[in-house]
Structure 1
Amino acid sequence: MSKVLLEKAKTLEPMNPNKSTALFGGKSSGILNWNDIAYPHWYKMYKRLIGNYWQADEINMSDDLRQFSSLTDAEKDAYLKIIGLLSTLDAPQTRTALLLSLYATDPSVQSIMAVIAQQEAVHNESYSYVLSSVVSLDEQNESFQLGRTDPVLLKRNETLMQQYNAFVEEPTIENILKTTVYTALLEGMFFYSGFAFFYHLARKNKMVGTSTMISYINRDELEHGRFIAELFRAALDENPDLNTAEFTDWVYSRFSESVELEIEWSAYVLADIEGIDLDEMAGYIKYRANKMLRMMGLSEFYPDHTENPMKWIRAYADNFDETKTDFFEQKSRQYTKTSDLNGFDDL
């Protein structure tokens, strides 16, 4: 595979065409005309992303503050550990999205990545907001230390950390593709056992404010995962010399390894949570991996896990088209049953 180091895209090159000649390593003036881009349907993706705007402090956490003390010790422990996990994943995503945009020679990619980076920053802020609403500063800080100290979490994040840092040190097309693979895993699978825990609490009418915030994050991550999968496919198509059996095997290997690490993490953090079936959770993780592989143009890796074994989750996630306002002109949480016909086969 090519080891040619990419240069950061120039900010403005008027002698180059407005429509980019390649996503990475191509030529573009830097001028963005959404009506003249290499991948026209990405404008719709951009519009969906900016339509998801929200802020953490719009969510009322007063009931969560009251309820937190009534959670079981196992639920409190899982709550703090999972918030720590999510913050460990979202904080690097802000920087990774910006780094990808620096090397993108397609201005539409730069703009979409800027929106994604901003949303990841909001996600990370929301974890601080949630914890500040329910626990002391010392407990907040302890939760945010987990990404540096918890051995299971460190093991789980090690290969992702290595690839993200490899991209920083060696910005090649190969490392961009590999980084988008890990970003797809992160956006489409790594978050989901954590999301499921908060939806499980909401199902028991506990910590509904937290689960509402998680549903907004979930909605964002679904869009991020869609775009990253498309970016991967398009960049691979533009660089056919990298589209080899060896690289495909690498992708499947990373998915397999990541699934096992996610199952290990979920068993560790959810072992004592009443009402969560760990075997069902493992099946859900494999189902999510299959979803992301299909979106990336690859075959399913887990043929026995093509259906969502935790369909109840779909009742706790926002419908993309029905999340504007409630009767009091505030953002609402759509606690409605969903079907395969209204867009939630993605969860």
Structure 2
Amino acid sequence: MSSLTQKPLFNPTADTSYEKRMLIGGETTNLMMLSNNKYKWSYPLYKTMMQNFWIPEEISLGQDKMHYERLEHDERETFNKVISFLVFLDSLQTVNLPNINDYVTLPEVNLLLNIQTYQEALHSQSYGYILESIVGAEKQQEIYDIAIKDPFLLKRNKYIADCYQEFIDHQTEEGFAKVMMANYILEGIYFYAGFSFFYNLARFGKMTGVGTEIKYINRDELTHLALFQNMFRELKKERPHIFTKALEEELREMMRQAVEHEVEWGAYAVGDRIQGLSASLIDQYIRYLSNFRLDAIGLDPLYPEITEDPLPFIKQFTNFNQTKTDFFEEKVINYAKGGSDLDLDGLDDLDL
């Protein structure tokens, strides 16, 4: 396996000619020469991510405290578990993305990963704002602690963290491909049983402010997917020798394991106790999504027999980066605050 070396902070003698500029293992001064990017998709994606600026407090949660108190017992328990898990995911991303960025030798990608890191922190702030708005301090801490005290969730969270820790401990080119896959899985699979739960509540008129928060978070996550999809494509071009049949099967197996984990989580946290959802629907939905995720990075889908979206109502809550009417509040929301020439390369197919 080819080892990777962390790039220097500043290298004024770096050869930044076109052929020396690469995702990993290239030469870089670390100067942000954004008018001369190698990857033509990077600046449009940068503009889209910057146009998506928002803050959690701009969404009113005044009614959600009353909604929370009126939830059925099972709905409230699921709400607490899902929030705790989502806090863990975004917290882990905030801490881990710099570990990947240290080995990326293209400044335009460094910049995008930095924006993603900021957005992951913003998402954690959003979940904190949700909890502060609906429950007291003691209950907030109890919900945060679910991520480390619930045996099922602790086991799952340790598995995710271990995937990231492997690259921290052993930096290789193949390991970089695998840690990219782990990030892609987290962004593209691990959030979605939880997202579907919140959207499902909202379509029945419950926790509608939280539903809007989730829409904003969801929009950010799709740009993160676009980032890692394009990183995968570039790495395949620049390091084709590492994408052996064995590695590609290992990446598909990582997705298979992720799907099984998310399906198990859906059965545990949501099950058949929530109006409008079931463990079977979540199972089919996660497998359906995984097919899009694999196809987008040039890998064969795991579940080709699943071709129909089992949760079509979710599309009422998405369709991002365009002006539309908010599903709950009947007001116009412009999800992108300015025009963008970015072609998200089939991102509509990656809608929830």
TM-score, normalised to structure 1, is 0.91
**Aligned-residue offset at 1:15:** 4.2
Report the CA distance shift for 1:301/1:344 in structure 2 as closer, same or farther (over 3 A).
closer
Whichever residue aligns with residue 321 of structure 2, its letter is F
Whole-Å separation in 1 of the counterparts to 2:151 and 2:135: 23
1:6 matched to 2:5? The reply is yes
Structure 1 unaligned spans of 5+: 335-340
Counterparts in 2 of 1:342 and 1:99: CA distance versus 1, 3 Å: closer
How far off is 1:120 after superposition?
0.4
- Deviates further, 306-315 or 18-27: 18-27
Structure 1 residues 42-61: Cα deviation after superposition (integer angstroms, max 9, x where no partner): 21111111111111111100
Residue 48 of structure 1 is matched in structure 2 by 48
Report the count of equivalent residues: 338
Task: Determine helix, strand or coil for the equivalent of 2:310.
Answer: coil
Q: Secondary structure of the residue that 2:333 maps to in structure 1?
A: coil
Asked if 1:199 corresponds to 2:204, the answer is no
2:26 is paired with a residue of what secondary structure?
Answer: coil
1:66 partner letter: M
**Rounded Cα–Cα distance in structure 2 between residues aligned with 1:90 and 1:60:** 22
Per-residue deviation, 1:94: 1.2
The one-character-per-residue Cα deviations of 1:29-74 (angstroms, maximum 9, x if unpaired) are: 2222223222112211111111111111111000001211100010
Paired position in structure 1 for 2:292? 291
Match of 2:343? none
Distance in 1 of aligned mates of 2:68 and 2:52: 28
1:346 aligns with 2:351: yes
SS in 2 for 1:332: strand
Letter in 2 for 1:16: D
Structure 2: how far apart are the matches of 1:194 and 1:49? Answer: 23
Deviation at 1:345, TM superposition (A): 5.3
Partner of 1:300: 301
Unpaired runs of at least 5, structure 2:
336-345
Q: 1:325 Cα deviation (Å)?
A: 10
Cα distance in 2 for partners of 1:333, 1:202 equals 20
Q: Indicate the residue corresponding to 2:339 in structure 1.
A: none
Residue identity in the other structure for 2:304: P
Equivalent residue for 1:16? 15
Distance in 2 (alpha carbons) for counterparts of 1:75 and 1:311: 21
Instruction: Answer whether contact 1:18 1:32 (CA < 8 A) is retained.
Output: no
The alpha carbon displacement at 1:323 in A equals 6.4
What's the TM-score once normalised by structure 2's chain length? 0.90
- By relative contact order (CA 8 Å, sep 6+), the higher-ranking structure is 2
RMSD, aligned CA: 2.3
> Partner residue of 1:33?
33
Q: Give secondary structure in 1 for the equivalent of 2:102.
A: helix
**Cα distance change, pair 175–32 in 1 and its aligned pair in 2 (3 A):** same
Shift of residue 294 of structure 1? 1.1
- Deviation digits for residues 178-226 of structure 1, max 9, x if unmatched? 1110111111111011000000011001100101000000010011011
